[in-house]
Amino acid sequence: MTTPIAVTVAGSDSSGGAGIQADLKTFAALGVYGASVITALTAQNTAGVSAIHDVPAEFVTAQIDSVFSDLDVNAVKIGMVAQVATIDAIAAGLARWSPKHVVLDPVMVATSGDRLLPEAAVAALRTKLIPRASLITPNLPEAAALLDEPVAESEAEIESQGKRLLQMRCPAVLIKGGHGKGAESIDYLITAGGIAAFAAPRIATRNTHGTGCSLSSAIAAGLAKGEEMETAVRNGKAWVSAAIAAADRLGVGHGHGPIHHFHRFY
């Protein structure tokens, strides 16, 4: 019996709702064994982030090599990477170990609209990590930031931005529509073969902490289990939508609480 294994390379969320913790919960909820490479420690809760401590790049390298030298990794999810040296370490690790699937969630813009990455790190993402990804999953502001363009406001503009992101040598782009308007939240998967739209009702809840992390890790879990890209995206979107819909069943924190990763179980 082979066990599907996914690795998350991301920052730690001390309150458990996003980052490494959300990724590992997602992997577990979807029947995938999860391992982790921690790029940063955060002091945060549902009200916000109060401090960030970056893990030295050489220790990121040590984690990567320890995990990949022992575990038969089927897919990798990459989240928070704020330092150029960390991006270099991850890119070198991917080159050494050549995992089949890499899902990159380019965490660049905070919910407030603030840029989270210095320009040098954004440039390194474009040139060093995006070309090694099977899929990148920017939201609307992040897609715009990667291209130095205004945020797309129509399906035609989203498709156009997706096609330009493909030119960064990534075979698939999922532009997430959670920041859009309307009764539905629509994500668009753009590949050389065309565009596919995945719609779900927009859910009225303040408990959406970790949504983006969890979607990218849900897609990585599907790929780890052998699903095709479009199937992994469709299943991941459906699972996250259900986790958001069930979020108010949890009573966690006094701010923007987490989604319910284990909504299928309790």
210 is annotated as an active-site residue? yes
Name the catalytic one among 8, 176, 180, 236: 176
212 is catalytic: yes
Q: Work out the end-to-end distance of the chain between its first and last CA atoms, rounded to an integer number of angstroms.
A: 28
Dihedrals φ, ψ of 75, to 5°? -155, 155
In the 8-state DSSP scheme, what is residue 129?
A: I
Of the listed 213, 222, 236, 257, which one is catalytic? 213
Q: Which of 8, 46, 191, 211 is catalytic?
A: 211
How many CA within 13 A on the CB side of residue 25?
25
- CB neighbour class for 150 (10 Å; exposed up to 12, middle 13-18, buried from 19): exposed
217 token code pair: 């890790």
- Of the residues 16, 19, 212, 236, which is catalytic? 212
Active site residue 208: yes
Residue 251 annotated among the catalytic residues of the structure: no
Q: What span, in angstroms and rounded, lies between the C-alpha atoms of 123 and 136? A: 15
CA distance 174 to 236: 12
Cβ partners under 8 Å of residue 196, min gap 6: 188, 189, 230, 233
Tokens for 73, please give them: 């990794």
The identity of residue 226, as a single letter, is: G
- Catalytic pick from 210, 222, 236, 257? 210
Query: Is 211 part of the annotated catalytic residue set?
Result: yes
Separation of alpha carbons 172 and 84, rounded Å: 24
Q: DSSP class of residue 236?
A: H
* C-alpha to C-alpha distance for 88 and 96, rounded to whole angstroms: 12
Nearest of 67, 65, 141, 130 to residue 104 by alpha carbon: 130
Active site residues: 176, 208, 210-213
